[in-house]
Structure 1
Amino acid sequence: MDIKHSLKQRIVIVFALMSALVAGTFAVGIFVTVHIVEKRLTAISLGSDLRRMLSQDNISDWRHRPEKEELFYFEGGQGDLALSDDLIDLQPGYHELERGKKSYYVIVQRVDDRRYVLLRDQRKFAKRERILFGVVLIGFILSILLAILLGRLLASRVMAPVIRLAGQVRHRDQILEVAPRLAEDYAKDEVGELALSFDQTLGRLRAALQREKLFTSDVSHELRTPLMVLASSCELLLDHPGLDSRSRTQVSRVSRATLGMRQLVETFLLLARTEVQATQPACQQSLSQVADELLEVWRQPIEEKGLQLIYVPCPSATGRYNPTLLQSVMGNLLRNAWHYTDTGFIRLTLTEHGFMVEDSGIGIPLEKQQAMFQPFVRGDEQRGEGLGLGLSLVQRICDNQRWTVSLTTREPHGCCFTVGL
């Protein structure tokens, strides 16, 4: 399993592991060295004691007493000094021997065809080894804890420039033209190189945003005028008494398309501005005001298609919203219902904090509902009109304004779009 840690945690872990490896190596080295040295010194000490005893005039005076740490035996000895069965086969030199529950160091020497054996109790040495083991273990644990503490302190100091740089890059003011360069605050090291790379990337981003601002201003200027001309021309044609019914229908269709295009232009221009989420338009409208304006536009095409338009108002809906964005969301949902409904009804229901658009159309399969809010996805590919951008625009506006939109299936057929404001 891949466990993800922050860079600071990784530094602390590596520092602790490195310290554990070094301290563990030293601890093992201490144990091995002490064991080897102890064995060597014990052999020398036992040999020296045995030679000292052999130099005495009468070694038969040796008596084994319980408090003695050393036991002496020799070949031909009598009583307590006689070689026992476990000592007879020992060769000259240094040995370690287990006797019952006790352990001994043993030195065997042959002098004048007679073997002499000296035993030393290991308990004192074992006690010293346990004490040494405890000291080394405590030192090992303390070294790990100290390594973790020092690792955290060092990691904090090492990561401080990176954390600072991350905060500066994350701050939205860095995309502004007046934002200072990041690399000037850092040394010419790896962090400074990273800051320089961010400066270059942010510079390209600022240039792209500037081009987008120029583009949106050009679009605003260039498209509004011809759309206004189209709308005015349609109004004049519709007022002309000599226009036949077929031509009037076509002109009405052009007028509705022009109105929809103007609304789309306004919506896209508004979404393109970075200040959309931070500011509110000076003129806001209630949910019922937006619904009344859109019903006035869509009532005729809906009824001309033979559909029933049902409107359920909500007097308690008192919230006020961005009219351009709200009209775009509600208008796209009404257009979508009108496009995919051939018989039955379209119902617009206002609630205290949102609205619902229901229809008795062909519906959307359950497996396709999640993808309907993606660009260029259409409910019925056989229908010629539309590019599949309406619902994706609805989703983008809702995300921008922190609204919610959901799609459910009506029984026996049809759709229900619910928008929470």
Structure 2
Amino acid sequence: MDLKQNLTKRIVIVFALMSALVAGVFALGIVATVHVVERKLTSTTLSGGLRRLLAMDDISRWSHKPEKSELFFFEGGQGTMALTEQLAALPFGFQEIRFDGDDFYAMVMAVGGRKYVLLRDQESLEQRERLLFIVVIVGFILSILLAITLGRLLARRVMAPVIRLAQQVRHRDQLIELAPPLHPDYAADEVGALALSFDQTLGRLRDTLSREKLFTSDVSHELRTPLMVLASSCELLLANPSLEARSTAQVQRIARASNEMRQLVETFLMLARKPEEVGIQSACTLKDVADAQVEVWGRLIREKGLEFIYDAQTCGSGQYNLTFLQSVMGNLLRNAWHYTDKGFVRLTLRENSFVVEDSGIGIPEEQRQAMFQPFVRGDERRGEGLGLGLSLVQRICNQQQWQVQLSTREPNGCRFIVELKPATQDAGGQTPGLPAA
């Protein structure tokens, strides 16, 4: 039985199989019993008939005849009652034989040293058995159909509380604090126990979500302040004309890292919300984000001795979530910069997508699907990173209904294609999350 069938179908199937088993056993029992009884009755009837014939007349002047469906033979008989060689060779007692092309029941007895044989045609008995088989088969089929019908009716009644519970869990917002419990609506049975388990599990889930929201808000509040201090301090240091070139580079690195951390915090905070709560609170075009990322990563890529190619000729004007788009594009450019030692990195903008290509070490085909899992890195020998960048890219794309594809370049390198879905506008023409003009 396929365990993926729904529970109602499985109840009907089990009910039908059980009925088929019981009906089959009874049918076989009836057929076997009737066959045994018919054979016993026929043996008794033939034995009694043969004894009556022997008691009716003198064998020397025989005048009595057997029943219409019977044949009578005896040793020393004349004409049609003469005992043939086949009949003379029969053992004593009741048996089934084939005589003159037909099937007969035979009773063979010896009285006064003379052998007597009484035959009865099996045709009438076979007709009754065929009729019995038809009746049994029809009854078996009807019992199966009746079992299926009753199984459907009973399954609906049995499954009604479970279906009701499933609808309540599906349509109620059980994660809100004021959601009413489910188990008081049900009896103290298995379904009631299931409803109680739902209540307990959903309660633990509500507690977990509440703690997560508190943690998220705490992180947002506690991290933004020191990040702002770092950013403002870096600006003040960079504005100092007496700062050495080496110190300037270090301060710029700190400023870049604090900016990346700020973006990462905003990304995680937005991912923790529901998609309908996010909107595109800070909208931007693809080219706006690409220009900002090129200014940062283009310089770092060139400083590494790589060629950076930026093609924005065919980009569209769709609006996207600034934080998410920055995180996706920035992580892919960082990934290309990190795993490319020679050659180039290319960023190409399209109508509603962008492509990041590199001539780096590439990713084996068997590892491509795993690359979007957390803590998976392309080259374990490289010490930097935890393998969370591509995982974050996948989470953002799933949340925004974007598509990210990874393929291999020839002779080496990777190609990431991100298909974007422009943000929709409401009936009033306002982009969700933005103030009206």
Partners of 1:387 and 1:309 in 2: how far apart? 25
Sort the Cα spacing of 1:271 and 1:53 in 2 relative to 1 into closer, same or farther, 3 A.
same
Q: Per-residue displacement from partner, 1:141-187 (whole Å, max 9, x unpaired)?
A: 22223223322332333233334434444558233323332222322
Is 1:60 matched with 2:62? yes
Partners of 1:38 and 1:258 in 2: how far apart? 99
In structure 2, the residue matched to 1:81 is 81
Partners of 1:383 and 1:39 in 2: how far apart? 90
Amino acid at match of 2:350: T
Sort the Cα spacing of 1:290 and 1:89 in 2 relative to 1 into closer, same or farther, 3 A.
same
Question: Shift of residue 281 of structure 1?
Answer: 2.7
- Aligned sequence identity (%): 65
Counterparts of 1:363-402 in structure 2, within 5 Å, are: 363-402=362-401
Amino acid at match of 1:32: A
- Tell me the C-alpha RMSD between the 2 structures: 2.7
In structure 2, the residue matched to 1:354 is 353
In structure 2, the residue matched to 1:222 is 222
Question: Shift of residue 8 of structure 1?
Answer: 3.3
Counterparts of 1:253-292 in structure 2, within 5 Å, are: 253-273=253-273, 275-277=274-276, 279-292=278-291
In structure 2, the residue matched to 1:297 is 296
User: Which stretches of structure 1, 4 residues or more, deviate above 6 A after TM superposition?
Assistant: none
Partners of 2:83 and 2:365 in 1: how far apart? 96
In structure 1, the residue matched to 2:187 is 187
Other structure's SS at 2:372 match? coil
Amino acid at match of 1:86: Q
Is 1:407 matched with 2:409? no
Sort the Cα spacing of 1:251 and 1:79 in 2 relative to 1 into closer, same or farther, 3 A.
same
Sort the Cα spacing of 1:318 and 1:164 in 2 relative to 1 into closer, same or farther, 3 A.
farther
Other structure's SS at 1:242 match? coil
Sort the Cα spacing of 1:364 and 1:46 in 2 relative to 1 into closer, same or farther, 3 A.
closer
Runs of 5+ in structure 1 lacking a partner?
none
Amino acid at match of 2:178: V
Partners of 1:252 and 1:403 in 2: how far apart? 33
In structure 1, the residue matched to 2:137 is 137
Partners of 1:38 and 1:223 in 2: how far apart? 95
Partners of 2:313 and 2:212 in 1: how far apart? 40
Question: Shift of residue 390 of structure 1?
Answer: 1.5
Contact kept? 2:57, 2:64, Cα under 8 Å? no
Amino acid at match of 1:196: L
Other structure's SS at 1:215 match? helix
Contact kept? 1:70, 1:120, Cα under 8 Å? yes
Sort the Cα spacing of 1:92 and 1:295 in 2 relative to 1 into closer, same or farther, 3 A.
closer
Contact kept? 2:107, 2:117, Cα under 8 Å? yes
Other structure's SS at 1:154 match? helix
Q: Per-residue displacement from partner, 1:392-417 (whole Å, max 9, x unpaired)?
A: 21122112222122223334443322
Contact kept? 2:16, 2:151, Cα under 8 Å? yes
Other structure's SS at 1:180 match? coil
Sort the Cα spacing of 1:244 and 1:316 in 2 relative to 1 into closer, same or farther, 3 A.
closer
In structure 1, the residue matched to 2:99 is 99
In structure 1, the residue matched to 2:336 is 337
In structure 2, the residue matched to 1:418 is 417
Sort the Cα spacing of 1:279 and 1:234 in 2 relative to 1 into closer, same or farther, 3 A.
closer
Other structure's SS at 2:77 match? coil
Question: Shift of residue 265 of structure 1?
Answer: 0.3
Amino acid at match of 1:387: L
Counterparts of 1:155-166 in structure 2, within 5 Å, are: 155-166=155-166
In structure 1, the residue matched to 2:429 is none
Q: Per-residue displacement from partner, 1:91-137 (whole Å, max 9, x unpaired)?
A: 65433332032122233455555444332211111111111111112
Is 1:319 matched with 2:294? no
TM-score by length of 2: 0.86
Contact kept? 2:53, 2:64, Cα under 8 Å? no
Partners of 1:371 and 1:183 in 2: how far apart? 42
